[in-house]
Amino acid sequence: MNTTTLKHSPAGELTQGHKKVIFASSLGTVFEWYDFYLYGSLAVIIGKQFFGGLNDTSQFIFALLAFAAGFAVRPFGALVFGRLGDMIGRKYTFLVTIVIMGLSTFLVGILPSYASWGIAAPVILITLRLLQGLALGGEYGGAATYVAEHAPNGKRGLYTSFIQTTATIGLFLSLIVIWCCRNYFGKETFEEWGWRVPFWVSIVLLGVSVWIRMQLAESPLFQQMKAEGKTSKAPITESFFSKNGRIVLLALFGATMGQAVVWYGGQFYASFFLSKTLSVDPNTADILIAIALALATGGFIFFGWLSDKIGRKKIVLAGCLLAVLTYFPVFKALTHNVNPALEEAVASSPVTVTADPARCAFQFDPVGKKTFKQSCDIIKSALAKKGIPYNNAPATAGSVATVSVGGTTLNSFEGEALSKDDFKAQSDAFGKQLAAALKTAGYPEKADPARINTPMVILLLTYLVLLVTMVYGPIAAWLVELFPTKIRYTSMSLPYHIGNGWFGGFLPFTAFAIVAATGNIYSGLWYPVIVAAITVVVGLLFLPETKDRDITA
């Protein structure tokens, strides 16, 4: 088999060999991110297909939790595959990860639904998500390390920035494929079975990725280290149970944690905000996000290149700081330009729930079988299903909850003593009264396409993605340069995947839960804002700049 080996050119130019290494590593990682994000992009449909025994709200929450499950195990994948990568090599380790990812994704596409297999369907789905997460935990560190160890000094930011584009390009690719399938099959057919087609495509992408990566040789730094007998015998011990462990913790809290919430806030949470909170048609939301991704993706390369000139630390922390300062005004501007009718209705006729706080439950039902029958819960459940923001006001103990919509006040009812039929009848009657009051007050059921200020929305979304490119473009080079070659794969993978898998991956679910609890559609933003602010402080005070380090030494 022909494999690509190369040496650095004296001037550090981007040679044909370098280009092949970057292309092969990046293309495989694009496909892996495509596989991973198909699930996130189709979370609502997957919730209906595989959690059909739950109510609508629990379906969506469980779909998000299953999505987050893939993120939860990424650090464990980083440990398993990072250890292998530091002991046996970078190339074969990330070949294994891409095969696991591709097969798991394809199997999601052929897995029968809850209606066919019952509880076995969501159990298998979550198992496949866990396998995807394990694979991705080993993939990124391998690809980034492999490219960085081929890069000459002074070029690592630029070289590794191509790897950094892969997550966004993978998301972009998944959105395009989904959009094409949705429009080809039509909404009903797509939601019934057409959603599976993008998952089937992954088997073709898997074949292409494996073939391309088989053409590559092992990293020259790893080959040299292996020839000299200097490979680590215990990468996990050396990475985390020595003085290197302090750098791992600082890399997590001072770099990847904030980078992760800005990444997921600017792309995934923005997408959820458009479709779920502002009630934008899913097709329209996908198109708007895809345009922003296309316009801003070049920022990864630019900021990677710039980090070779002025440093990684300045750019990553500046992106986190800008997110802290601008997230609230930007998301409020999205509401103004996407669904002005909602904004106008909230301003002119605010909704207030007045209830005894002790009589308001946290409406998260793990099995989807419980009916919340207290008067406060009846109101909040109805408002949550309609995506209506509301304020909370305390009432006297034991009183029946009320909801005010502008000048109209509606009394709820206590349903705990009612029969199932009587409770349903009164709930339906209350729901109709509430819907009529909201309609009279000007609350829209959907965002009006004619009132969407498309250029401004694209500008705002592009700004959010540019923040993503600031924090993400230089991060691989920064992490690679923080750790020695013999434990680099393991050491950089764990803080990256804890940051992105836990702090970032749980952002949509955490933010959604905060919004549901408070009634404020912007309150979920406090999660990424606080996390990013912590990273700015820790990174500024404790992490070094690394752009001039020679990792070959």
Alpha-carbon distance of 378 to 418, in angstroms, equals 13
d(CA 200, CA 182): 15
Cβ contacts of 514-521, under 8 Å, gap ≥ 24: 515/277, 516/363, 516/384, 517/362, 518/392, 519/351, 519/353, 519/380, 519/383, 519/389, 519/390, 519/391, 519/392, 520/389, 521/273, 521/277, 521/335, 521/389
In this structure, is residue 553 part of a structural domain?
A: no
The answer to whether residues 182 and 139 belong to one domain is yes
Say yes or no to pLDDT of 362 above 70. Answer: no
Give the residue-averaged pLDDT of 347-353. 93
Question: Cα–Cα distance between 334 and 278 in angstroms, integer?
Answer: 9
The residue out of 385, 414, 440 marking a domain boundary is 440
265 and 413 fall within a common domain: no
Greater model confidence, 494 or 453: 453
Tell me, yes or no, whether 369 and 505 share the same domain.
no
| Nearest by Cα to 93 from 482, 477, 479, 493 | 493
Instruction: Specify if 7 maps to a domain.
Output: no
Is the CB of residue 426 less than 8 Å from the CB of residue 418? yes
Q: What integer is the mean pLDDT of 344-365?
A: 82
Residue 54: predicted pLDDT: 64
In a domain, 512, yes or no: yes
Domain that holds residue 45: 16-339+449-542
The 10s digit of each residue's pLDDT in 460-476 is 999 999 999 999 999 99
Domain contains 8? no
Using alpha carbons, select from 197, 163, 158, 168 the residue that is nearest to residue 180. 197
Residue 420 in this model has a pLDDT that exceeds 90: no
Q: Do 404 and 465 lie in a common domain?
A: no
In the sheet where 402-405 sits, what is the strand order? Answer: 391-394, 351-355, 402-405, 408-411
Tens-place pLDDT, residues 154-180: 889 999 998 888 877 887 888 889 989
Q: What is the pLDDT of residue 55?
A: 60
What is the pLDDT, as a whole number, of residue 366?
A: 38
Looking at the chain, the whole-number percentage of residues with pLDDT higher than 70 is 89
pLDDT at 371: 60
Task: Decide: residue 551, CB within 10 A, 0-12 exposed, 13-18 middle, 19+ buried.
Answer: buried
Q: What is the pLDDT of residues 66-114, one digit of tens each?
A: 777 777 788 888 888 888 878 877 777 878 888 888 898 899 899 998 8
Q: If you average pLDDT over every residue of the chain, what do you get?
A: 85
pLDDT score of 12 more than 50:
no
- 299 versus 140: the higher-pLDDT residue is 299
For residues 404 and 529, state if they share a domain.
no
Per-residue pLDDT at 492: 86
147 and 294 in a single domain? The answer is: yes
- Residue 271 CA to residue 311 CA, distance in Å, equals 31
Half-sphere exposure of 414 (CA within 13 A, CB side): 8
Residue 198: per-residue pLDDT: 92
**394, 422, 440 — which closes off a domain?**
440
Helices (H) and strands (E) in the chain, counts: 26, 4
Q: What is the pLDDT of residues 304-342, one digit of tens each?
A: 999 999 999 999 999 999 999 999 999 999 999 999 999
Note whether 508 and 429 are same-domain residues.
Answer: no
**Total domain count for the chain?**
2
Residue 457 pLDDT grade (very low, low, confident, very high; cuts 50, 70, 90): very high
Residues 259, 283 within the same domain: yes
Q: Quick one: tokens of 466?
A: 């540019």
Same domain, yes or no: 424 and 283:
no
For residue 9, being part of any structural domain is answered with no
Q: Does 551 map to a domain? A: no
547, part of any domain: no
Indicate the pLDDT class of residue 364, thresholds 50, 70 and 90: very low
Least confident piece of the model among 85-99, 516-530, 531-545: 85-99
Confidence of residue 132 (pLDDT cuts 50, 70, 90): confident
pLDDT band at 60 (very low <50, low <70, confident <90, very high): low
Q: What is the pLDDT of residue 472?
A: 94
CATH code of 31's domain: 1.20.1250.20
Q: What is the rounded distance in angstroms from the CA atom of residue 543 to the CA atom of residue 249?
A: 10
DSSP per-residue string spanning 486-530: GGHHHHHHHHHHHIIIIIITTHHHHHHHHHHHH--TTGGGHHHHH
Band of residue 14 on the pLDDT scale cut at 50, 70, 90: low
Query: Do residues 402 and 518 both lie within one domain?
Result: no
pLDDT at 2 > cutoff 50: no
Confidence of residue 15 (pLDDT cuts 50, 70, 90): low
**CATH code, domain with 361:** 3.40.30.10
pLDDT at 298 over 70: yes
Lowest mean pLDDT among 85-94, 181-190, 202-211, 385-394: 85-94
pLDDT greater than 80 at residue 37: no
Q: Are residues 384 and 504 in the same domain?
A: no
Q: How confident is the model at residue 11 (pLDDT cuts 50, 70, 90)?
A: very low
CB 338 within 8 A of CB 452: yes
| Alpha-carbon span 255 to 543, nearest angstrom | 8
Pairing of strands 408-411, 402-405: antiparallel
Radius of gyration of the chain (CA): 25
Assigned domain for 385 exists: yes
What is the reported pTM?
A: 0.82
CA distance 30 to 301: 15
Predicted confidence at residue 28, as pLDDT, reads 67
Q: What pLDDT, on the 0 to 100 scale, is given for residue 16?
A: 60
First to last CA, the chain: 31
Query: 5-9, 61-65, 240-244 — which one is most confidently predicted on average?
Result: 240-244
Lowest mean pLDDT among 123-137, 220-234, 282-296, 432-446: 220-234
Q: What is the pLDDT of residue 6?
A: 44
**Same-domain pairing of 70 and 206:** yes
Would you state the structure tokens that stand for residue 460, as one six-digit string? 């705002």
HEC secondary structure over 211-235: HHHCCECCCHHHHHHHHCCCCCCCH
**Residue that terminates a domain, selected from 406, 423, 440:** 440
Asked if pLDDT for residue 4 goes beyond 60, the answer is: no
